[in-house]
Amino acid sequence: MVEVLLEPCGQDVAVPENGCNLDENTTTTTECTPRDDDRCDSITEESNMTPIQRFYNGQSIFMTGGTGFMGKLLMEKLLRECPGISFIYLLVRPKKGKDVHQRIEEVFDDPLFSKLKEKQPKFRHQVVAIAGDCSLPGLGISASDRALITRDVSIVFHVAATVRFDEKMKLAVPINVRSPKDALDLSREMPGLKSFVHVSTAYANCPLNMIEERVYDPPMEPEKLITLMECIDDKLVDEITPQLLGEWPNTYTFTKAVAESIVKKGAGDLPVGIFRPAIVISTYREPLLGWIDNLYGPTGVAAGAGTGILRSIHCNGSIQANVVPGDLTVNALIACAWDIANRRRSTTTTEEKKIEVPVYNYVSQDNPITYDQLKTKSEKHGLEFPTGKAIWYYSFRNNKHKLVHLFYVYILHLLPALLIDTVTVCLGKQPRMLKIYRKIHKFMDVLNYFTMKEWTFQNDTYKRMLHSMTPEDYENFSCDITRVNWDNYFRMYVRGIRIYLIKDPIETLQQARVKWQRLYWIHQALKMILAYAVLRICWLTMFYLFRVYA
């Protein structure tokens, strides 16, 4: 069922056939009510528009994954920078007793949308929530909603995915493999389709060392994998998952690799492209400095280290940390849809249109930063923006050698956790530190593959797109990774983790610094006590041995 997010127009107006109230002096309108049989376009005068803005002007967009991190950034940027967009049809699933309307309202309550609300206060007219679920056949969309989408939509962003590395194969396949096929099938019914972008990952083909901008042979035929998941029970799927994965380290990268092949196979003569971002972390500049809403990848490590919980990770600090800012990533994604349409227009025959699905690797190798540099900058700015919710002083390191890392895990993670839980039980309370560390160590285990291996990426297709942008689009949709100042970026990144994830407002910074100083001296005192204990044990051991053998 469609949930249309509306505000009253403020006055009664005569609505012409196209559903909008326009007069000869009107350049933009969003104050109109969409109807099931009419299309309501927010049509903006194109004379002052950039090429990318003109591409989106008057178009309707269908988007999956709009309630996720990248989806929210993408929707916010499109609405703020391309006000001429007619509608964004957003696939949303009911969750935890909340219908799609409630879920969308919660999304718009995020501070991420504060800048949009100032610039385009009536943007809700342009957002239409479509009830559906990517884990269901046909995206779980009703027949009436499907008819509405296929009639109105001309641009599709398939962003939805389960990004958990250890997701069960039984769930990962429907969402990550079957839903791209369903989205393509839906797009094939759109007579006005201009561009379809499937969001993959730079690590979809991670068993390779050199990753080009092309679709590789899949680890398993998509149709066979989908059928297999439909025919066998959960327990058997779990048992055979290691054999299915083969060289792939987890279900996320495996299903993403299979999904790319299903997109290429199903593209036909449609204007389809694949966008492969690297590790997407917080925003750089817009709409908020350092905005982040998840603990995936390096963000979880930074948050754990900043609160004093995480002390070691198995990581080769000399290799590149292939991280990219969230706002630059969605800018590149927006530009990719435009570039895919341009490529389509430049081809002339049906056969030419079937030859190639363009792939865009969006990575940071042109402005590299290593894991050691990432750690150093996070530590530097973590001390500038400490959190009052820290339980211990910052004491974190990258350990290349597994045995050294395990030593730190047992001494600095498990032993303190055991002591704290013992005291907690003696006080009659519920122990929880060992449980927390079990989750942390499981999280670190799935990261090991990516923190101990380095890849080389080809990104010529992305660079050609970047060079084809006008100076205005280059600024409005900034996605040039070489312009990122990593020191400035990580200052805002750490600050954003404190504010948006740890939920520690910047107003408490002074109190946090006082606590941080106290934790520092406790940390130093404990190190001296431990050093004395070790020396004392060594001295007594040597004294005993001397007496025995004297």
Burial class (CB within 10 angstroms; exposed 0-12, middle 13-18, buried 19+) of 121 = exposed
DSSP 56-112: HTT-EEEEESTTSHHHHHHHHHHHHH-TT---EEEEE--BTTB-HHHHHHHHHTSGG
DSSP category for residue 370: B
From CA 242, how far away is CA 309, in angstroms rounded? 31
Angle separating helix axes 298-306 and 486-496, nearest 10 degrees: 70
Query: Tens digit of pLDDT for each residue in 263-308?
Result: 999 898 899 999 999 999 999 999 999 999 988 889 989 999 999 8
Residue 142: name the closest of 206, 218, 89 by CA: 89
Q: Which residues contact 48 (CB under 8 A, 6 or more apart)?
A: none
Beta-ladder partners of 273: 197
**pLDDT number for residue 548:** 66
The SS3 call for residue 124 is helix
Query: Tens digit of pLDDT for each residue in 241-262?
Result: 999 999 999 999 999 999 999 9
Cis bond before residue 249 (omega within 30° of 0) = no
**pLDDT number for residue 550:** 58
Mean pLDDT calculated for residue range 44-57: 84
**pLDDT number for residue 354:** 55
Query: Tens digit of pLDDT for each residue in 112-126?
Result: 999 999 988 888 889
**pLDDT number for residue 532:** 83
Q: Which tokens hold the place of 358?
A: 């363009």
Among the ranges given (236-240, 359-363, 541-545), the one the predictor scored with the smallest mean pLDDT: 541-545
Tokens 């309630």 sit on residue = 67
**pLDDT number for residue 496:** 94
Mean pLDDT calculated for residue range 449-473: 94
Q: Which tokens hold the place of 527?
A: 């190190």
Mean pLDDT calculated for residue range 360-371: 95
Residue 313: name the closest of 433, 212, 176, 412 by CA: 412
Beta strands in 109-223 (DSSP E): 127-131, 153-158, 195-199, 210-211
**pLDDT number for residue 92:** 93
Q: What is the pTM of this model?
A: 0.86
